[in-house]
């Protein structure tokens, strides 16, 4: 099972992307933008970007980066359909701009977003 985010918590997600065809690490060397998107409860998307804040490259050649999420942002994230079923978890969409070319990576069922037990406390 992948990482878990409880709505309303600060969270740092470490992400490593691989090429779907070869399994090699996705090389971010020279990337001008990484835009990581999460689904919010109201149907909008939360964008965390390399250019503005929230995304930090840890190893460009190794395909590793981290996403920093604030409590006010995670409070709005859409809860996973069934956190006990690995096929019903939440996903991420990652757009990588490299040499003016945008690659879109869909990561389905990779993170569990769960509600707080006591949201009003």
Mean pLDDT of the chain: 92
Q: Which long-range contacts (CB under 8 A, 24 or more apart) does 15-18 make?
A: 15/64, 15/65, 15/66, 15/67, 15/92, 15/94, 16/62, 16/63, 16/64, 17/63, 17/94, 17/105, 18/63
**What is the extent of the structural domain holding 18?**
4-114
Residue 15 lies in a domain: yes
pTM for this entry: 0.91
Are 74 and 43 in contact, with CB atoms under 8 Å apart? no
pLDDT digits (tens, 9 = 90+) for 86-105: 778 899 999 999 999 999 99
Residue 25 lies in a domain: yes
The CATH number assigned to the domain holding 110 equals 2.60.40
- φ, ψ for residue 8, nearest 5 deg: 90, 5
Residue 119 lies in a domain: no
Confidence (pLDDT) at 96:
95
pLDDT digits (tens, 9 = 90+) for 50-93: 999 899 999 999 999 999 999 999 999 999 888 777 778 899 99
């Amino acid at each position: 099972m992948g990482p878990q985010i409880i709505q309303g918590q600060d969270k740092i997600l470490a992400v490593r992307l691989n090429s779907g065809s070869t399994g090699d690490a996705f090389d971010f060397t020279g990337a001008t933008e990484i835009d990581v998107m999460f689904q919010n409860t109201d149907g909008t998307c939360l964008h965390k970007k390399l250019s503005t804040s929230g995304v930090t490259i840890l190893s460009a050649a190794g395909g590793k980066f981290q996403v920093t999420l604030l409590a006010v942002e995670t409070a709005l994230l859409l809860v996973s359909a069934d956190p006990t079923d690995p096929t019903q978890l939440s996903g991420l969409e990652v757009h990588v701009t490299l040499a003016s070319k945008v690659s879109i990576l869909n990561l389905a069922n990779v993170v569990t977003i769960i509600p707080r037990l006591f949201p009003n406390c």
